[in-house]
């Protein structure tokens, strides 16, 4: 098993494609999400969430929430590596965290945190997943729980002093 720069399993590798470059000369924010989605696909393959699974069970997964942090720009042709840290799961949800690294320097380029739901494609409702993916999730979680909680996980966006969000005691900022 190959390891990513953070010591977790290397789950995916890729490179920055020319069509992903924006007017600033670096990878556009939308393509960070796409690149992370390719890493998610690797987890789904491990869980068996493929075409055959969808046909057999009538179920799939939907992303319900995500948060990306951009930490270092990437330019055309640069290689990327991705690690996965499973933060939690139950029979209907998977809480995942991915890191994207600049493959040559090992520097952290971005992170993403995702919550995915297991959904019936017939009813479009959240339903329990079967024992096989749950078994894989249990093994992954046991291996990943020894790693520290990522500092970027569970964050929120806010300007504390100049925010419309309520301040402590109900006062507005």
- What band does 172 get if pLDDT is binned at 50, 70 and 90? very low
pTM for this structure?
0.90
Tens digit of each residue's pLDDT (9 = 90 or more) over 138-161: 999 999 999 999 999 998 888 877
Mean pLDDT taken over the chain: 93
What single DSSP character describes residue 75? -
Residues of the chain above pLDDT 90, percent: 88
- What band does 51 get if pLDDT is binned at 50, 70 and 90? very high
At 6, list the tokens: 């953070």
Q: What's the rounded Cα separation, in Å, for the pair 96 and 93? A: 10
Domain ranges (residues) in the chain: 10-170
Q: What's the rounded Cα separation, in Å, for the pair 106 and 122? A: 43
Residues of the chain above pLDDT 70, percent: 94
pLDDT attached to residue 162:
75
Tens digit of each residue's pLDDT (9 = 90 or more) over 6-40: 999 999 999 999 999 999 999 999 999 999 999 99
pLDDT attached to residue 158:
80
CATH superfamily of 10-170: Hotdog Thioesterase (3.10.129.10)
Is 85 within 8 Å of 147 (Cβ atoms)?
yes
């Amino acid at each position: 098993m190959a390891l990513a720069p953070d010591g977790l399993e290397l789950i995916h590798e890729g490179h920055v494609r020319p069509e992903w470059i924006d007017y600033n000369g670096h990878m556009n924010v939308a393509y960070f999400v796409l690149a992370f989605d390719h890493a998610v696909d690797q987890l789904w393959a491990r869980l068996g969430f493929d075409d055959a699974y969808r046909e057999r069970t009538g179920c799939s997964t939907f992303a319900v929430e995500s948060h990306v942090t951009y930490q270092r720009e990437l330019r055309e042709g640069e290689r990327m590596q991705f690690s996965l840290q499973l933060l939690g799961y139950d029979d209907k949800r998977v809480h995942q965290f991915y890191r994207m690294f600049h493959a040559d320097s090992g520097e952290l380029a971005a992170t993403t945190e995702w919550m995915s739901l297991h959904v019936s494609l017939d009813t479009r409702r959240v339903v329990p997943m079967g024992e096989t993916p749950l078994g894989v999730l249990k093994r992954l979680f046991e291996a990943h729980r020894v790693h520290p909680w990522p500092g970027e996980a569970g964050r929120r966006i806010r300007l504390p002093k100049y925010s419309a969000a309520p301040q402590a005691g109900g006062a507005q900022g």
